[in-house]
Amino acid sequence: MARIATRRSPLARAQAALVADLVQAATPGLGVEFVLVETAGDLDRSRPIETLGERGVFSRGVQAALLDGRADIAVHSYKDLPTETLAGLRIAAIPVRADPRDALVSRSGQALADLSEGASVGTGSARRSAQVLAARPDLRVQPLRGNVGTRVGRVRAGQLDAAVLAVAGLERAGLAGDIAELLEPPEFLPAPAQGALAVEVRTDKPDVENLVKRIDDADSRAAVTAERAFLRDLRGGCNVAAGALATVDGAGLTLTVGLFGDGEAPPLTLHGRLSDADALGRQAAARVLAAREQATQ
């Protein structure tokens, strides 16, 4: 029996179910049960994520279930995990990544360029806010928190003209039909590791780790490694207004990154080998930080 810890939100539970299916397919006959956890981010839905202070507001509670023995496996939206590794835990698998892009959900079905002047667009992300306003400075960006269904519901109810959400979240929540427009890179860069799931285990449980490793996808791991190395070396944590997207082509890796809002740096694209994913991300961060410093001089 494998006990899988996850947040209580419908999306988190759907993601945990995806991982459970993969693990059971890789290990026939394995039973699973879910350990549902409320995190600090779930308990405070009124304030913007950036103002909550503590890193890992959507992950620490789930990780605690691993560390105290309530669960054997934890499933996270990888983009919600702090870049600092928590002692005693390890990411044993990154399954095949879903679509990493952002999408616009609009009440009228209009694309971003077609929204009326002054239309309201909801998002809880500084990165998304900055990219929306770069494309359409006439729009009004409004704070938006809550689970995926709640955010889409506010658009459907006319409380907002549109909202920006992750394609992967909409698809996993069964709400892909609400997508009005896919926001394409490099003009709209997603959060580092967006669309990827992180399956975490305790380092002192090698039997569990070996079981989970069977669902790891090498290409997804390389892409996410580069993106998160970029974020880590920015030293801003998972709430910094940074975007990154790595794509794999054979043994090669292409990484496009950007920093938005205050201290904005233009998009930058680098190429490297899959085996150099971490170094490529660190190189990207160094170049972005150097460009930002030069711009402020």
pLDDT in tens, 184-231: 999 999 999 999 999 999 999 999 999 999 999 999 999 999 999 999
Q: Which two structure tokens, joined as six digits, stand for 176? A: 């892909």
Structural domain boundaries of the chain? 1-95+196-216, 102-183, 217-297
Between CA 282 and CA 230 the distance in angstroms is: 5
Which has the closest alpha carbon to 153: 122, 187, 198? Answer: 122
CATH number attached to the domain at 102-183: 3.40.190.10
Residue 261: predicted pLDDT:
78
Query: In this structure, which topology does domain 217-297 adopt according to CATH?
Result: Double Stranded RNA Binding Domain (3.30.160)
Residue among 238, 192, 246, 185 at smallest CA distance from 60: 238
pLDDT for the residue numbered 277: 98
DSSP string, 73-116: EEEEEGGGS-SSPPTTEEEEE-PPP----EEEEETT---GGGSP
Measured CA distances, 169 to 175, 218, 222 (Å)? 8, 22, 21
1-95+196-216 architecture in CATH? 3-Layer(aba) Sandwich (3.40)
pTM, two decimals, is 0.91
Q: What is the pLDDT of residue 176?
A: 97
Peptide bond into 186 cis (omega under 30): yes
C-alpha–C-alpha distance, residues 193 and 223, integer Å: 8
pLDDT band at 43 (very low <50, low <70, confident <90, very high): very low
Count how many residues are written for the chain.
297
Average pLDDT for 234-262: 87
Nearest CA to 292 among 210, 236, 249? 236
Least confident of 139-153, 212-226, 228-242: 228-242
Mean pLDDT of the 240-252 span = 93
Quote the tokens at residue 138: 């006439």
d(CA 23, CA 211): 8
- 188: helix, strand or coil: coil
Binned at pLDDT 50, 70 and 90, residue 51 comes out as very low
Same fold, 1-95+196-216 and 217-297: no
Reported as type and span, the H/E element at residue 271 is strand 265-273
Q: What is the per-residue pLDDT for 108?
A: 92
Residue 207 annotated as catalytic:
no
Residue among 68, 72, 80, 249 flagged as catalytic:
80
pLDDT at 53 exceeding the cut of 60? no
Measured CA to CA in angstroms, residue 88 lies from 126, 183, 202 at distances of 31, 38, 6
User: Does the pLDDT value for residue 15 go beyond 60?
Assistant: yes
Helix (H, G, I), strand (E, B) or coil at 169: helix
Three-state DSSP class for 14? Answer: helix
The reported pLDDT for the residue numbered 40 is: 59
Min mean pLDDT across 234-238, 259-263, 278-282 is at 234-238
